[in-house]
Amino acid sequence: MEILAKFGIQQTFYFTMVDAGTQDLAVTGDWTPAATDANIIIDGGATAQCTNTIAFEDDVIWSLTLTAAEMQGTRIAVSIVDSATKAVEDNVLIINTQFSGQIQANQSIYIISVDDGTFTPTTSACEFTMISPHLVEETTADQFIGRLLYGTTGIHQAAATDITDYVLANSKLKLTYTVLKDGQIPVAGELWVIV
């Protein structure tokens, strides 16, 4: 089972652990998690130790807080393996920050991320890096004129505007759009969708 979560935002995930060699759920006296017990793989990259250590919450509930940086992936896998005495059985959390499979299957919806590396965003223009469904940017100029641009994370969550121009610039999607009503400038790393 996958856990649905928001992209790029620090979040705490709750789960249970099974006491090693039993069918009972582990409680606070059964296990003392070490920092090395939780490792993360982001979008198929290299395995790394999670920033935070697993914590006991209450009753049989454990938690792990993933940082905003650790949540910058569309599919995140966290392995929980007792590195010492095997006091608990192994566990895995699979976290999905994408839209539902039905929406992702629609190749006309693009998920993009604000990129300020070569162009400083303004209230009406910004460069984006393609995240899904393709990792290659569209090369045809004006391809997105007339389509809608929706913010899905950060300060622009739920913001919407229309696209008035498009070019491929600096190997990124450079969109010009009607000024956002809040007058704020898109921030690097924010996710948006083109529909």
Higher pLDDT, 76 or 5: 76
CB environment 146-177: b (16+ within 10 A), e (fewer): ebebbbbbbebeebbbebeebbeeeebbbbeb
Contact call for residues 163 and 148 (beta carbons, < 8 A) = yes
Give the model confidence (pLDDT) of 14-27 as tens digits.
999 999 999 999 99
Any idea which architecture 2-96 has in CATH? Sandwich (2.60)
| Across 28-44, average pLDDT | 95
Give me the residue spans of the domains in the chain: 2-96, 102-194
Residue 112: what residue type? I
Answer whether 2-96 and 102-194 agree in fold: no
Q: Which residue in the block uniquely carries the two structure tokens 């809608």?
A: 148
The per-residue pLDDT for 84 is 79
pLDDT grade, residue 34 (50/70/90)?
A: very high
Residues near 194 by beta carbon (within 8 Å), at least 6 away in sequence: 109, 110, 112, 144, 147, 148, 149, 163, 175
pLDDT grade, residue 183 (50/70/90)?
A: confident
Question: Of 6-10, 66-70, 104-108, which gets the smallest average pLDDT?
Answer: 104-108
Mean pLDDT, the chain, rounded, equals 90
Residue 5: is its pLDDT beyond 90?
A: no
The per-residue pLDDT for 99 is 59
**C-alpha span between 78 and 12 (Å, rounded):** 13
For the segment(s) 102-194, the CATH number from 2.60.120, 1.10.3470, 2.40.10, 3.30.70 is: 2.40.10
Give the model confidence (pLDDT) of 88-146 as tens digits.
999 999 999 875 444 544 556 888 999 999 999 999 999 999 887 766 778 889 999 99
The per-residue pLDDT for 100 is 46
**C-alpha span between 174 and 161 (Å, rounded):** 15
- The whole-model pTM stands at 0.57
Residue 174 is classified by DSSP as E
Contact call for residues 119 and 106 (beta carbons, < 8 A) = no
Residue 49: is its pLDDT beyond 80?
A: yes
Which phi and psi angles does 111 have, rounded to 5°? -105, 125
**C-alpha span between 141 and 134 (Å, rounded):** 17
